[in-house]
Amino acid sequence: MPVRRTMHTASSRTLAVLGSPIAHSQSPALHSAAYAELGLDWRYERHDSVPAARNEFIASRDARWRGLSLTMPLKHSVLPLVASTDRVAELTGAVNTVLFDESHTGERILRGFNTDVAGIVRALRAGGLGTVRRAQIVGGGATAASAVAAAAELGAEHVTVSVRNPQRAAGLHELARQCGLTAEIRRIVDGSDPSADVVISTLPGGVDSGMSYTRELQRRALLLDVAYDPWPSPIASEWSAAGGAVLSGLAMLVHQAILQVRIFVSGDPLQPLEHEERVLTAMLAAVDLDGSGAPTTDKTHSDAVPES
């Protein structure tokens, strides 16, 4: 269905992050910092919602609402509600951003996007990741699908996905093939890929997978743990103790969120914001990160599950 894309910068708008649990989400801090830097009188809220209550919540939003950020468990379940998805959301089967838009007749429609993939890529590049030929992904959910697609964008040729039940992650093997990657789905107890250039853990915060990693891998490969409460996580602590480089999920959250801001402002994740570098700096400062994604303070943020 054709849509009318316009800049929404003048009037007050309302947005929110939706998911469960959501009480300690950092998305309001990030988005509020962005809209303040852009001079927009926009309000960004958080609402606890599970799939059973999702339809009613979305249907009850009035004309002031511009969109939603989605966390688990809504990234898959929202798909039947959106009129269209971007290429990345269609590829991964996961939507983390919903835009309230208008058709050419003025009817409200929902458009779905996935900014997780670009968020992972941008966070890892900002964190100093160089050449990638092989990637290791831990976990098999919606964020793991985005991690597979991100590995392809980073230039990987092969991805190893470690999960507790390989049969439940069979779809990731097909996704990898569509992205031009060879893939191996293996059990967590079988250990990691010692040749990986980057390791992306998509497990909920505080979960110790029990997977083994060689010291050589920990010292050589960059680790991105998409969760960040509690922090440091078991895998991050182990990685740092071995002398390895670690990024928390806050870095990914910031970089995917600035693309959400693009979507909410212009309707297009590829359209840069005015003074975008200043906006990004403000968002990083809101969660105490520097430009590389490293913490600028010892402050611990709380968010029980991967949010982006």
- Please indicate whether residue 75 is annotated as part of the active site: yes
Region 279-300 average pLDDT: 91
pLDDT value of position 8 = 55
List strand residue ranges (DSSP E) for 114-181, in order: 134-138, 158-163
String of DSSP letters for 197-209: SEEEE-SPTT---
Q: pTM to 2 decimals? A: 0.93
Whether 2 shows a pLDDT value over 80: the answer reads no
What's the rounded mean pLDDT across residues 14-40? 94
Residue 180 has pLDDT above 90, yes or no: yes
- As a whole number of angstroms, the distance between CA 235 and CA 249 comes to 13
What's 3's DSSP letter? Answer: B
Looking at 83-189, which runs of residues are DSSP E strands?
84-85, 97-102, 108-113, 134-138, 158-163, 182-187
What percentage of the chain has pLDDT greater than the value 70? Answer: 93
Q: Which of 150-159, 203-212, 236-245 has the lowest mean pLDDT?
A: 203-212
Distances (CA, A) of 124 to 54, 96, 150, 190: 32, 19, 10, 26
Q: Report the percent of the chain where pLDDT is more than 90.
A: 80
Segment 45-53 mean pLDDT: 90
Domain 13-115+253-286, CATH homologous superfamily name and number: Leucine Dehydrogenase, chain A, domain 1 (3.40.50.10860)
Token digits of residue 162? 């470690």
Domain ranges of the chain: 13-115+253-286, 129-244
Look-up: residue for tokens 């040729």? Answer: 157
Per-residue pLDDT at 176: 98
d(CA 40, CA 21): 28
Interval 251-258 mean pLDDT: 98
**What is the structure's pLDDT at 9?**
54
pLDDT number for residue 179? 98
Query: Whole-number mean pLDDT of the chain?
Result: 92
Asked whether this chain's domains 13-115+253-286 and 129-244 adopt the same fold, the reply is: yes
In the prediction, which pLDDT does 301 show?
Answer: 47
- Domain boundaries 129-244, CATH class: alpha beta
Inter-residue contact 4 to 103 (CB < 8 Å) = yes
pLDDT digits over 155-167, tens only?
Answer: 999 999 999 999 9
Looking at residue 299, its pLDDT comes to 55
The CA distance from 201 to 306, in Å, is: 10
User: Residue 25 — very low, low, confident or very high, per pLDDT cuts 50/70/90?
Assistant: confident
Residues in the chain: 308
The residue annotated as part of the active site, out of 31, 75, 111, 301, is: 75
- Residue 254 sits at the vertex; the CA angle it makes with 287 and 61, to the nearest 5 degrees, is 100
Residue 4 φ/ψ region, left for φ over 0, alpha for ψ in the -120 to 50 degree band, beta for the rest: beta
Half-sphere exposure (Cβ direction) of 12: Cα atoms closer than 13 Å: 4
Query: What phi and psi, each to the nearest 5 degrees, are found at residue 283?
Result: -70, -40
